[in-house]
Structure 1
Amino acid sequence: MKIEVVDPQDDARLLRWNAVLRESYASGRRHVWSRSDDATRLQFQNPHPTRRSVLLLADIDGVAVGAAEAHVHPGDPAEVEIAVRDDHRRRGIGGALLRAVREALRPSATVIRAETYSDDGVSFALSAGLRVGSRESRQIVGLPISEGTLADQDEHPDDIDIHSWSGPCPDELLEGWARLRSRVSDEVPMGTLTRATMRPDVQAVRRNEQRMSEQGYILVRSLARAGEESVAYTEILLSRSDTEIVHQDDTFVEERVRGRGVGRALKVANARLLMGLPESAGSRILQTYPEPTNTPMLTLNRSFGFEEADVLTVLEGPLA
């Protein structure tokens, strides 16, 4: 077996690497979204200015049998993914890839974090010294959601205004959006995982919007305001290169307005906006990731018709 670093500018090898990750990610699962080749090119051939990425490909006699992906921002845990093709598992390939990732990350990180949807993946990570930090229920609902379902949920307090748009945040809402985004890292349930500190940074929001647009994503967003103050938001990611499965990203409601239907109103507004976009005509599945202990969100999702597809386990441990 040979493990080599993938040069993102080597287009053929980059896509070969992504194919192994995509195949492994979807194995034994249904309605799975994975990164398209176009998004892979855009993400890695124009790298993030402050993030270090490690891309590894394992070959046996010229056949790609495994791949690894790792990303780290200064001071944060490194996000690691290990993939081995089904017909080459239990041969030590995953362990060899993880050792190579740890060696490559040594100057940049002290903690690694990994995600898996399988019991075998959990066992592998535990044997490598990681611990379970959190679990999330991957839930899906068919698109389009009926207008009847949305109408049943469509009410919110009179003192709350909902603003919806696709693409970059309007200038007049940007400061409030950035402030709420920074709150997520402090307040959203993360089990025992290491929390990253995020400052309200409007320039970081603009940089992220630019990169997401360059990678082919449409940002579908709704923001709730009480008077002149932003109090809640939600965001959906729609990939132009693969519109079938749409990803519900963050939903955050400040504690002072929770229990008043604000989150529900945001989700109704955002679903309507999504389904009104021409790019969503081929969209068939909307997926989201609440924690199994987040009872209010689970109840809200059920009212929209979401059902559990599988469970994501996130593990974390020392780099060494």
Structure 2
Amino acid sequence: MHIRELDASDPAARRAWFEVMDRSARADRPHALLEAFDAFELTVTEPGEHARRIRFEARDGDALVGVAELELPLTENLDVGWCEVNVLPEHRRRGVGRLLWDSVVAEARAAGRARVGGEVSVAPVDGGPGMLFAASVGAVEKHREDHLLLGLPLGPAAQAVVDPAYEVVTWRGRCPDEHREAYLEMRNQMNADVPTGELDLEPTVLDDARLASSEERLMRSYDVRVATARRRVDGAFGGYSLLFVPHGADIAWQDDTLVMPDHRGHRLGAALKAVNYAELPASIGLVHTWTAPSNTAMHRTNTALGFRVVEHMHEMEADLALLADRVPPEGR
């Protein structure tokens, strides 16, 4: 068994790496929402400026049996690395995951990182192999979110009802210039407010250039849909909801939904989500989202819309100072 970095210049190697990641993750997760290949290709062949990613592959002879990715933030949270380790089911419990983890840790230490975090998603009633592996390498839970699923179309009781004091403004793709200042304020409010449990993280701070770069990259892999609420009396924006539809897919991914503090109490969150869902093509049958159990208001909103919990997503973290030094495998 040997570990080496993915040759990002080799299209066949990229495809093989992606397929092992995808098959490994889906083996235990019937409701998994995973990165599509075109989005993966973009991050590998045209890396963004705010994070560096190192991808490892585990080979048994010529067979690719496991993969790992380490993401190193380059703007905020410079003491943290984020990782994902995936091993094909038929090759588990042979030390493959641990060898990949050792390479991740060695790379994170070399980059000056003190912590490595990652997500482990499991069925609500079963810890699953991912949790066992995370515990075995010294990671502890710092935060949890529920992964929820909604079938479309919405039922009659969940249709959009917008407070008459507000109008809904929607767009697809890039935020129009006339709304960008207000949209940036809302996005940064969301980044500051999002529940993170015991994770010690700096919030992402967007400016116009960083937002524009993010929009451009996302639009290459997703149909990006935004619904916002604007108060009629003064034109102040009170909230937004951000929805992604992977190109060619029959599902949608509900990302941020925020109501600004001075605009709460008008059921804007539910209305904005429902507006976005109503405008989706009929081919989109499912919406995925994630909500922290502590976010009771959004959980009530999601339940009223018809979402149901299908997984628990645990955010795990390993303090590298507490881990016993291990010699990384040869052949990287």
Q: TM-score, normalised on structure 2?
A: 0.88
Shift of 1:240: 0.6
Distance 1:235 1:268 in 2: 12
Contact between 2:55 and 2:70, CA under 8 Å: does it hold in 1? yes
Shift of 1:256: 2.4
Q: Is residue 269 of structure 1 aligned with residue 275 of structure 2?
A: yes
Hey, what does 1:140 align to over in structure 2? 149
Hey, what does 1:61 align to over in structure 2? 61
Amino acid in structure 1 at the alignment position of 2:136: S
Shift of 1:150: 4.1
Match of 1:106 among 99, 109, 121: 109
Contact between 1:32 and 1:245, CA under 8 Å: does it hold in 2? no
Distance 2:285 2:32 in 1: 12
How many positions carry a matched residue from both structures? 310
> Match of 2:284, SS?
coil
Hey, what does 1:253 align to over in structure 2? 259
Amino acid in structure 1 at the alignment position of 2:294: T
- Cα distance per residue 1:217-256 (max 9 Å; x no partner): 1111011223233221110111114x12211001111222
Amino acid in structure 2 at the alignment position of 1:318: D
Hey, what does 1:81 align to over in structure 2? 84
> Match of 1:117, SS?
strand
How large is the RMSD of aligned CA atoms in angstroms? 1.7
Contact between 1:246 and 1:285, CA under 8 Å: does it hold in 2? yes
Distance 1:199 1:39 in 2: 23
Q: Is residue 218 of structure 1 aligned with residue 208 of structure 2?
A: no
Distance 1:62 1:200 in 2: 44
What are the within-5 Å matches in structure 2 for residues 1-320 of structure 1?
A: 1-74=1-74, 75-76=76-77, 77-108=80-111, 109-118=113-122, 119=127, 120-146=129-155, 148-151=156-159, 153-156=160-163, 158-214=164-220, 216-226=221-231, 227-241=234-248, 243-273=249-279, 275=280, 280-320=281-321
Shift of 1:66: 0.8
> Match of 1:106, SS?
helix
Unaligned runs of 5+ residues in structure 2 are 322-332
Contact between 1:31 and 1:285, CA under 8 Å: does it hold in 2? no
> Match of 2:188, SS?
helix
Q: 219-228 or 163-172, which moves further after superposition?
A: 219-228
Q: Structure 1 stretches (4+) deviating beyond 4 angstroms?
A: none
Contact between 1:11 and 1:41, CA under 8 Å: does it hold in 2? no
> Match of 1:47, SS?
coil
Shift of 1:288: 0.5
Amino acid in structure 2 at the alignment position of 1:154: V
Shift of 1:194: 2.1
Distance 1:141 1:203 in 2: 34
Shift of 1:38: 2.4
Q: 129-138 or 220-229, which moves further after superposition?
A: 220-229
Instruction: Name the CA shift for 1:33/1:159 in 2 (closer, same or farther; >3 Å).
Output: same
Distance 1:19 1:222 in 2: 34
Contact between 1:222 and 1:233, CA under 8 Å: does it hold in 2? yes
Unaligned runs of 5+ residues in structure 1 are none
Distance 1:155 1:308 in 2: 26
Contact between 1:163 and 1:223, CA under 8 Å: does it hold in 2? yes
Shift of 1:49: 2.1
Q: TM-score, normalised on structure 1?
A: 0.91
Amino acid in structure 1 at the alignment position of 2:29: R
